[in-house]
Amino acid sequence: MEPNPYPAWLSQVREITQTPATRQAFEALKNAATPDELAIAAQKATAAVLADIAAEMAPLGSQANMPGFSNTPQPTLLEQLGFTQVSPMNGGVYHVRSNPTNGTAPVEYIALLYSPVPITPATERLQLFTQRVPDPLPIDVSPLQIQTHWHSLDARRLEESGLEPITVDLPAGAQLDTLQVIEYARPGEAGRIRYCVQLPTGDVVCYN
């Protein structure tokens, strides 16, 4: 194997890392001696840096125009699909847990309900994008940090990411012509807004 090529630029990258775990991950990457060690160390270092970035961006993810959500007693679309909400919704992004009925262990996901176009009374279906939360999680990565990262993404990019969405039928007879638009400030550059609506079921849907 040729000498590990990473140390030449690692010193520059490590200056921007924030946590001991991230610095440790880069140290392991620098010292990797075999292809297998290098692959594992690179994966851990990438996860650690993403966690640092997400943690830094989290305070920027506040709502730009956040009307109060209604607390409806009706079952939500997510619940009807077999998910239970684990933590508060953040910028249109959910942290949910599957609720299996076949005896298998529950699995946690980051999830986002999406409509390619604004919802109208003619809308029949939505898309639900999900990403399984790794178990075990990489060093210094939390579900909240993954959720925050999804909040920073342009929702339409999920269509281009290769994630296979679940098709979700809207409830029959739902009043969709009076939905109030919710604006979330996405983390990062100023002016990056995510547009959402809250359905009569209580579910929040992002759209282009």
- pLDDT tens for 99-120 read 887 878 889 999 999 988 888 8
- Contact criterion met (CB below 8 Å) for 117 and 207: yes
pLDDT digits (tens, 9 = 90+) for 66-93: 445 555 546 688 988 889 988 888 889 9
What does the pLDDT average to over 33-41? 72
Per domain, the residue ranges of the chain are 7-59, 68-207
Instruction: Transcribe 51-117 into DSSP letters.
Output: HHHHHHHGGG--EEE-PPPP---SPPHHHHTTEEEEEEEETTEEEEEE--SSSPPP-EEEEEEEESS
**Contact assessment for residue 18 and residue 52, using Cβ atoms and an 8 Å cutoff:** yes
**Bridge partners (DSSP) listed for residue 107:** none
The rounded percent of the chain whose pLDDT value lies above 90 is 11
Residue 128: the pLDDT is: 94
Q: Is the distance from CB of 97 to CB of 113 less than 8 angstroms? A: no
Alpha carbons 32 and 26: distance in angstroms, whole number: 10
What's the distance, CA 172 to chain centroid?
A: 29
Q: Identify the CA nearest to 26 among candidates 142, 15, 35.
A: 15
Task: Quote the pLDDT of residue 59.
Answer: 42
Enter the pTM of the model. 0.63
User: Which token pair is 190?
Assistant: 């100023």
Burial tier of 59 (Cβ tally within 10 Å: 0-12, 13-18, 19+) = exposed
- The CA radius of gyration of the chain, in Å to the nearest whole number, is 20
Contact of 68 with 85, CB cutoff 8 Å: no
Q: Is pLDDT larger for residue 56 or for residue 32?
A: 32
CA 197 to mean position of chain CA atoms: 18
Residue 175 has pLDDT above 70, yes or no: yes
Nearest to 183 by CA among 88, 63, 94: 63
